[in-house]
Amino acid sequence: MIRKTIKNFTQNPKNDILSGLTVALALVPEAVAFAFVAGIDPLVGLYGAFMMGIVTSLFGGRPGMISGATGAMAVVMVHLIQKGNEVGSALDTPIDNLGLQWLFITLLLVGGIQIGAGILRLGKFVRLIPHSVMMGFVNGLAIVIFLSQLGMFKKTVDGESSWLQGTELMVMLGLVLLTMAIMFGLPKLTKKIPSALTAIIVVAAIVIFGKIDVSTVGSFIRDGGGDGLQGALPSFQDQIFTLFYTLKGHWSIILSTAFILAAVGLIESLMTLSLIDEMTESRGSGNRECVAQGGANILNGLFGGMGGCAMIGQSIININSGGRGRLSGATAAIALLCFVLFGAPLIEQIPIAALVGVMFMVVIGTFAWSSFRILHKIPKSDAFVLIAVSAITVWQDLAIAVIAGVIMSALTFAWKNATMIRARKSVKEDGTKVYEIWGPLFFGSTTNFLTKFDVRNDPDNVEIDFIESKVSDHSGVEAMRGIVNKYQAAGKKVTLTHLSPDCKALLLKRNPEFDQVIQDSIDDPRYYVVTDILDSEV
């Protein structure tokens, strides 16, 4: 047990530490940018990234996965923060940044919901996500990451932003391409040195010693209205417990935002966990990750962070850089806090171009290029879902895209299975007509099921054989009850054979009189084989 715990914490300390440092550098502009999206101070985003990272790295369900402040959740926070600020300014005694305090209160609820999801073991439902949805999610996410980096090719002058042009653009592109070239070429020479960290150090050295005038982490923060990275340790937000009176009449926005944030966070985290599982050929615990995400968001609410969830881009950087153990995520989180506390002047000199180059390589590594090759080889419905999920991810957000993809896949599956119901007809020597049902009987196939019978012209004795069928839901039970009632109303005897035990129990619970039409003592070895299989499935 101790050996397994140590292995999960770190398989290779050198790789985990160097990879963690690389991820920490990439987390800085992301956390700052998402804080600006939400309309809050950059330090709140950095604190959020630190607390999400340290808790999930130590207690989460997937060693090596990185969590922090994310854009998907930041977008959801905007309306809540704006509404809170409006209410705060309209009070008899105005309260500055009330929207931020509302966010901290909301994060407490978000954490509770996510912990509840973990306790109820809802994390397993990520296994129900089809492969076409997963590929669409990955492709859409790669496009989103790419588009988010294009904003780095702008500069702000007198409060107005414009695209880089001329020499400035060429220098920016040159540094980005140099970063990408180092990340592409270095692993071919040696894999002992993290390529991303090396690329950042080399490009930063060129800019610093060459005194090249380009956008840096420091200028990026100041252009966004921040004062810089320098800060203190996160402090306990005891004032939120005295501000509950401001929520009177506004609990609906708090609760609705909390549920949306919890859902977005869990979907993105569990999808990232599933993707990292595939990359590392290992398996994490979705339920444990739900609990860790919830605990981290509660900690954010109590100590002034913006909350967040798993970050697929940074997780891929970590995995590709050799980070496999919990030490890599913990190193990234602690290094990020150290940047804020002690290393701000140095980190602020890192050129944005180096970080953009790293993220562009993440885009190339994330995008499922094989989807172009297989698109015409897979069923058209799967191809449509793949493309639709990619588009919705770019148009809306990851959570909506995944939910839409699962719904589309489920409806497609239901439609295909609805057409699979069959009834083989035969007549016994004694004149009894037998309907051998084949295929699943559920809400989608009940209409086709009922059309298979000819109640008016059938003989007086009818047998319906379910040895190759399974009743899956209440709609199927009702369909069986309906057809039996029709035969009985016509004065004919109907017998149901080879019903599985669970189906029989459902039918008798709905109508105990059905015991008269269900035949149990059947001398057919197939019956026992099928019921045993069905019992094991239940």
One-letter identity of residue 190: T
Read off the pLDDT of residues 340-395 as tens digits, 9 standing for 90 and up: 888 878 878 888 898 888 888 878 877 888 888 888 888 888 899 999 988 988 88
Q: Is residue 100 within 8 Å of 80, Cβ to Cβ?
A: no
pLDDT in tens, 193-250: 778 778 888 999 999 999 998 888 888 777 766 666 677 889 999 888 888 888 888 8
Q: Is the pLDDT of residue 530 over 60?
A: no
| Percent of the residues in the chain that have a pLDDT greater than 90, as a whole number | 30
Percent of the chain with pLDDT over 70: 93
Burial (CB count within 10 angstroms: exposed 0-12, middle 13-18, buried 19+), residue 160: exposed
Higher pLDDT, 296 or 536: 296
- Look at strands 461-471 and 433-441 and give their pairing: parallel
CA 318 → CA 66, 273, 292, 323, distances in Å? 8, 13, 19, 5
pLDDT at 514 over 80: no
Question: For the chain, what are the domain ranges?
Answer: 33-153+215-347+371-389, 420-537
**Mean pLDDT computed over every residue of the chain:** 84
Confidence of residue 255 (pLDDT cuts 50, 70, 90): very high
| pLDDT tens string 303-323 | 999 999 998 888 988 998 888
* Cα 149 from Cα 299, distance rounded (Å): 29
Residue 155 is predicted with a pLDDT of 80
Contact (CB, 8 A) for 495 and 465: no
What's the pLDDT tens digit per position in 171-206?
A: 999 999 999 999 899 888 887 777 877 888 899 999
Rounded CA separation 447/327 (Å) = 57
Is the domain spanning 420-537 CATH 3.40.50.970? The answer is: no
123-171 pLDDT tens trace: 777 767 788 888 887 888 788 878 878 888 888 776 677 888 999 999 9
Q: pLDDT: is 109 or 533 the higher one? A: 109
Helix axes 380-395, 131-150, angle to 10 degrees: 30
Q: How many residues does the chain have?
A: 538
